[in-house]
């Protein structure tokens, strides 16, 4: 069953997202970061075949050799880069809620992307200046650079500030805060907000007695 996003059918690469969805194209950043689900202990990028299929479906990387048995020697390195960049992006989102600067280790995978990616500037016939990566994307670095360009645009229009990480340290799910006050702190009140509040309440009661 396809979930719907304000009347739009959710793309297959975002099928693991259920609520507090970011508007496209930021939705892809959210879907990428949430390929790791700490709560359910699932990771779309844990196994090479599943990871390759998801990255291709999301348009972040060419699926590679189509005939079985043909070597895709770069994939192991790409998979490591994808996992590392995922945590760097999570740290960038965490900065919105926690304010901590990124560490050198968190910045390094992003530097690898910006160094490897081939971005290009183009001026369209209607006079619009665009910065983008080659389409269709073949190399992972270009696909990941596309995510960074999406983040840059979201930073420019202010929507990036609404990307947040769930305040439950065992969850860290990336969600989009559409609340008027912009003070949302949980991926979902029922699954994380109340659970954590109840736990803190129990701890306080135990301390008091
Ligand atoms: Zn949560």
Which residues keep their CB under 5 angstroms from ion ligand 1?
A: 166, 168, 171, 173, 187, 192
Q: What is the pLDDT along the chain (209 residues), one digit of tens a residue?
A: 344 555 668 999 999 998 899 999 999 999 999 999 998 899 999 999 999 999 999 999 988 765 555 556 679 999 999 999 999 999 999 999 989 999 999 999 999 999 999 989 999 999 999 988 877 888 999 999 999 999 999 999 999 999 999 999 999 999 999 999 999 999 988 788 777 777 777 777 888 77
- Tell how far the Cα of 167 is from the centroid of ligand 1, in angstroms: 7
- Tell how far the Cα of 138 is from the centroid of ligand 1, in angstroms: 33
3-state SS, the chain, equals CCCEECCEECCHHHCCCCCCCCCCCHHHHHHHHCCEECCCCEECCCCHHHHHHHHHHCCCCCCCCCCCCCCCCCHHHHHHHHHHHHHHHHHHHHHHHHCCCCCHHHHHHHHHHHHHCCEEEEECCCCCEEEEECCCCCCHHHHHHHHHHHHHHHHHHCHHHHEEECCCCCCCCEEECCCCCCCCCCCCHHHHHHHHHHHHHHHHHHHHC
- Tell how far the Cα of 9 is from the centroid of ligand 1, in angstroms: 24
pLDDT at 1: 37
- Tell how far the Cα of 169 is from the centroid of ligand 1, in angstroms: 8
């Amino acid at each position: 069953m396809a979930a719907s996003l304000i009347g739009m059918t959710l793309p297959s690469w975002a099928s693991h997202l259920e609520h507090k969805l970011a508007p496209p194209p930021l939705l892809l950043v959210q879907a990428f970061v949430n390929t790791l689900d700490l709560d359910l202990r699932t990771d779309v990028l844990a196994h090479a075949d599943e990871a390759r299929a998801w990255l291709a479906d999301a348009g972040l990387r060419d699926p590679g050799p189509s005939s079985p048995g043909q070597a895709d020697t770069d994939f192991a390195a790409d998979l490591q880069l994808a996992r590392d960049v995922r945590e760097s992006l999570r740290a960038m989102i965490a900065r919105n809620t926690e304010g901590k600067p990124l560490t050198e280790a968190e910045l390094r995978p992003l530097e690898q992307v910006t160094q490897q990616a081939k971005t290009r500037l183009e001026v369209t016939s209607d006079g619009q200046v665009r910065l983008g990566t080659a389409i269709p994307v073949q190399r992972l670095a270009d696909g990941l650079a596309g995510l960074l360009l999406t983040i840059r645009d979201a930073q420019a229009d202010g929507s990036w500030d609404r990307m947040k990480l769930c305040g439950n340290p065992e969850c860290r799910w990336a969600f989009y805060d559409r609340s008027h006050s912009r003070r949302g702190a949980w991926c979902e009140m029922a699954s994380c907000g109340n659970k954590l509040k109840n736990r803190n309440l129990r701890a306080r009661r135990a301390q008091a007695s």
